[in-house]
Amino acid sequence: MSALPKALLIFAFVIPLAIVMGFFLADPTDSTSLIGVGFLLVFLLSPFLIRYHHTALIVSATAFINAFFLPGRPEMWMLLAGVSLIVSIASWPLDREARRYCGFRSLDLSVIFMALVVLFTMKATGGAGLNILGAQVFGGRRYVTMLAAAVGYFALVAHPLSLQKAKTLGSIFWAMSGTAILGNMAYALGPSFFFFFYLFPVEFVLSQANAEDITLAGGVVRFSGLAPLGFGIIYWLLSRFGLRGVLDIAKSWRIILAVVAVVLIMLAGFRSNIILISLIITVLFFIEKIHRTINSGILALVLLFASFFVIGFSERMPLTIQRSLSFLPVKVSSLAKADAEGSLQWRFDMWSVVVTDIPRYFWVGKGFSINPTDLYFTKEALRRGFYSPSEAARLAGDYHNGPLSVIIPFGIWGVIGFVWFLTSVYWVLRHNHKYGHPELQTLNTFFLGFFIARVIFFVVFFGAATSDFWLFAALAGLNLSMNRGLANRSGVDQTEAVIPTRAAIGSSTPQMALPAVAQIKL
């Protein structure tokens, strides 16, 4: 008889829920239905989110997954950033461990400053421009992305990680970029699997589809989703084993897997990807001091063999790989070389025009607002051959250049805030690399090496403040959470958190938090 009330309770809960879910699924393509299904899913997952909100945010930070049930289909990490911060704040008075704040004051202030610059620019340039809310302009999604990045940073540093979780999640964080390939897989499997595009973004697939149309006229097909997959593999290897570990002859599978990942990256057809991976390996080569070990000879042999292979077979490789290698002094197809040079030329043309706009937007940036009428006429002029491809990209704010993506939208205040932010991130990563827990040494080394390489890439080759702000904020936030704050020479973090220990419970005198190393259970 005792089981009867439980059964009644279950039916009283399940049957109404099933009715509501059936009502929403009657028209699954309707936006109201999607929102309703989404809220039901969040409600059902609320126990999981309350317990694992921080872990879910870390896993989704670099993943290409959409919150398909929300208007505009934002990235999943945006939703989880807000959920995680709310849960962390709500649990602050209840959870003793949650009271340990891992942030670094200078970095905290720089993130807040950047958020204020975004809000000021948004207000000064005509509002957010959220078309999903009925606005007559486009571009508001980028404002939301940058503000969500600030929220995500504070959500990450609001909760410390144990040593074991830090080692596990620190590597998973990098590997999740491989989810980009799932969209390409759905596209390859045909219309029966197109429902996956509710969950996975279509940007990489659109690039592939557009390239296939151009192929009918002799273009180059670029499988864009392969690049994040290859980077995810390499990042996981480097964060888990370090460059020295990848070059370990006794573990030859690591080198083989890394070579496969590089091939996948080249199949995407982007020259910048080869430059980025070269920068990362070069920076790690010196940070890990591999030039003083025998592993330097192994790396030299791998590069020498790869060079001979590329020189001997470059013209026989797929066109996408030839395009990736077109900036090197090797023979490639004239089609691949012309395609690569053409995309570079319109960028130079755009930069020469955008640079002249810097004085105009020096004090108050241009923002991200886009007039849809201007965009339509620009596309029509481009289609009719009156405009170069750079005009549409310039109007949309896709400058393909890191510094320009900061100063044009946000002016000098954005530059000051972004430089302050990058300097603070470097300070955090450098200190945790030098003074962090020994068992996190490999992870901390990769975090620092990746950041240095990525900043060089952002300034010199390619960057976008909107996406890179979240990448750097997530990088710093996770690193602080892993190391339980900022480490110093004594291995003690500088977070001024006051947590009563068990011995202090019942005592009138609170005790200071234990050092970061002492709190980690070895």
Q: Is residue 411, in this structure, part of any structural domain at all?
A: yes
Given a cut of 70, is residue 385 above it in pLDDT? no
The residue-averaged pLDDT of 485-497 equals 58
| Residue 196 or residue 447, greater confidence | 447
Residues 377, 245 within the same domain: no
Cβ-based neighbour number of residue 388 at 10 Å? 16
Q: Which of 316, 334, 352 is the last residue of a domain?
A: 334
Residues 485, 432 within the same domain: yes
Contact 140, 131 (CB under 8 A): yes
Q: Is residue 463, in this structure, part of any structural domain at all?
A: yes
For position 418, what pLDDT does the model report? 96
Given a cut of 80, is residue 124 above it in pLDDT? yes
3-state secondary structure of 161: coil
Residues 374, 328 within the same domain: no
Q: Is residue 385, in this structure, part of any structural domain at all?
A: yes
496: pLDDT confidence band, cut at 50, 70 and 90?
Answer: very low
For position 459, what pLDDT does the model report? 93
The residue-averaged pLDDT of 229-256 equals 90
For position 44, what pLDDT does the model report? 67
pLDDT above 70 as % of the chain: 73
Residues 3, 149 within the same domain: yes
Residues 107, 237 within the same domain: no
The residue-averaged pLDDT of 406-427 equals 94
Residues 281, 369 within the same domain: no
Angle between helix 226-246 and helix 271-287 axes, rounded to 10 deg: 20
For position 149, what pLDDT does the model report? 94
For position 289, what pLDDT does the model report? 87
For position 184, what pLDDT does the model report? 80
pLDDT digits (tens, 9 = 90+) for 266-302: 888 788 899 999 999 999 999 988 877 787 788 888 8
11: pLDDT confidence band, cut at 50, 70 and 90?
Answer: low
> Across all residues in the chain, what is the average pLDDT?
78
pLDDT above 90 as % of the chain: 30
Residues 368, 330 within the same domain: no
Lowest mean pLDDT among 95-104, 148-157, 316-325: 95-104
CA 301: distance to chain centroid?
Answer: 33
The whole model's pTM is what? 0.82
Q: Is residue 190, in this structure, part of any structural domain at all?
A: no
Residues 252, 381 within the same domain: no
Residues 378, 326 within the same domain: no
The residue-averaged pLDDT of 141-156 equals 92
In the chain, how many H helices and how many E strands?
20, 0
Contact 176, 235 (CB under 8 A): no
Contact 265, 257 (CB under 8 A): no
Q: Is residue 380, in this structure, part of any structural domain at all?
A: yes
Cβ-based neighbour number of residue 376 at 10 Å? 10
The residue-averaged pLDDT of 422-451 equals 94
Given a cut of 70, is residue 513 above it in pLDDT? no
For position 310, what pLDDT does the model report? 80
Single-letter amino acid, residue 248: D
What are the b/e assignments for 270-301, b being 16+ CB within 10 Å?
Answer: bbebbbbbebbbebbbebbebeeeebeebbee
Lowest mean pLDDT among 13-27, 345-359, 403-417: 13-27
Residues 21, 156 within the same domain: yes
Measure the CA–CA gap between 306 and 301, rounded to whole angstroms.
8
Side-chain half-sphere exposure of 499, counting CA atoms within 13 A: 19
Q: Is residue 74, in this structure, part of any structural domain at all?
A: yes
512: pLDDT confidence band, cut at 50, 70 and 90?
Answer: very low
| Number of structural domains the chain divides into | 2
The residue-averaged pLDDT of 127-152 equals 73
Given a cut of 50, is residue 492 above it in pLDDT? no
Secondary structure, 3-state, 210-270: HHHHHHCCCCCCCCCCHHHHHHHHHHHHHHHHHHHHHCCHHHHHHHHHHHHHHHHHHHCCC
Residues 43, 114 within the same domain: yes
Given a cut of 80, is residue 342 above it in pLDDT? no
Domain extent for 47: 1-178+362-497
Residues 32, 87 within the same domain: yes
Q: Which residues contact residue 255 at a Cβ distance below 8 angstroms, ignoring those fewer than 6 apart?
A: 246, 247, 302
Lowest mean pLDDT among 90-104, 163-177, 321-335: 90-104
Q: Is residue 202, in this structure, part of any structural domain at all?
A: no
Measure the CA–CA gap between 453 and 258, rounded to whole angstroms.
18
For position 346, what pLDDT does the model report? 76
Q: Is residue 200, in this structure, part of any structural domain at all?
A: no
The residue-averaged pLDDT of 323-343 equals 79
Lowest mean pLDDT among 126-135, 364-373, 384-393: 126-135
